[in-house]
Amino acid sequence: MATDETCTHDCGSCAAGCEKRDLRAKLRDGSRVGKVIGIVSGKGGVGKSLVTSLLAAKLSKRGLRCAVLDADITGPSIPTAFGVEGEKAKGDKSGAIYPVVSGGGVQLMSMNFLLEHETDPVLWRGPVIAGAVRQFWTDVVWDNVDFMFVDMPPGTGDVPLTVFQSLPVDGIIVVSSPQQLVRVIVEKAVRMAQTMRIPIVGLIENMSYVKCPDCGKDIHLFGQSNISGIAKDYGLPVLARIPMSEGFSRAVDEGDIETLDAEYLDAAAALLETL
């Protein structure tokens, strides 16, 4: 068996036989989770949490039971977006943890729900952070969830590896922004998923443009998009191009993400429902 230090995660060229074993963590008794979708990017600040929140809220409005596992342990923003800052996750003597439920019925688990003060920093090394993410899967009582969205931290390190290896991920959505420098970072995320044999549902570009309030013209503040080229190179669909919007920003800051319609994500939501 390959050790953590020697494993390249390229099972096709490895004789260790690890791929024959099921390394996935088990849900707690009484939990049920249908589809697991990871929201990833190789770079921070591109809008993974926004996309995660919008998709969970949109599918919840369509009558599906949704959940968000906030895997960004050191920089969680899901509680703010859903307006549940200051809430605490409850537990019982058996060690079970119960998620916080948003006003729209989305089940949420985030590190901030476990801290005494939500501004307390989490000063943990990578393996400990990865272990906490795994516990969010194994120790939380997820109530009959149809779609769980995992809001990943940026990069291709310990947490994405833990999620890909420990959770039954049905697919990932890669989030990008239009800048040319992001292309290489996005390609890293795509290649990681391919190496780990995780299906890629498609790409979403955030901050794609700004709609002029006077003439209605699309203004590309960060230059022309690179998303179509990346999609073509890897044979992936572009699920959405989300504009920069004061309304989106205000809704997240005020915890009103569930009030947004976000029609830009209709196609992405419809595709997820077919999984």
H helices then E strands: how many in the chain?
8, 12
Q: How many angstroms separate the CA atoms of 136 and 134, rounded?
A: 5
**4 vs 182, more confident:** 182
Give residue 19's pLDDT: 53
At 209-253, the pLDDT tens digits run: 998 888 888 888 887 787 888 899 899 999 999 999 888 889 999
Q: How many angstroms separate the CA atoms of 193 and 150, rounded?
A: 14
**133 vs 118, more confident:** 133
Q: How many angstroms separate the CA atoms of 131 and 137, rounded?
A: 10
At 54-113, the pLDDT tens digits run: 999 999 999 999 999 999 999 899 999 999 999 999 999 899 999 999 999 999 999 999
Per-residue pLDDT at 22 exceeds 90: no
pTM for the model stands at 0.89
Q: How many angstroms separate the CA atoms of 1 and 90, rounded?
A: 39
Q: With bands split at pLDDT 50, 70 and 90, how would you rate the model's confidence at 186?
A: confident
Q: Which amino acid is at 5?
A: E
Closest CA to 198 of 175, 229, 166, 227: 166
At 138-184, the pLDDT tens digits run: 999 999 999 999 999 887 788 999 999 999 999 999 998 887 667 78
Give residue 17's pLDDT: 56
Give residue 111's pLDDT: 96
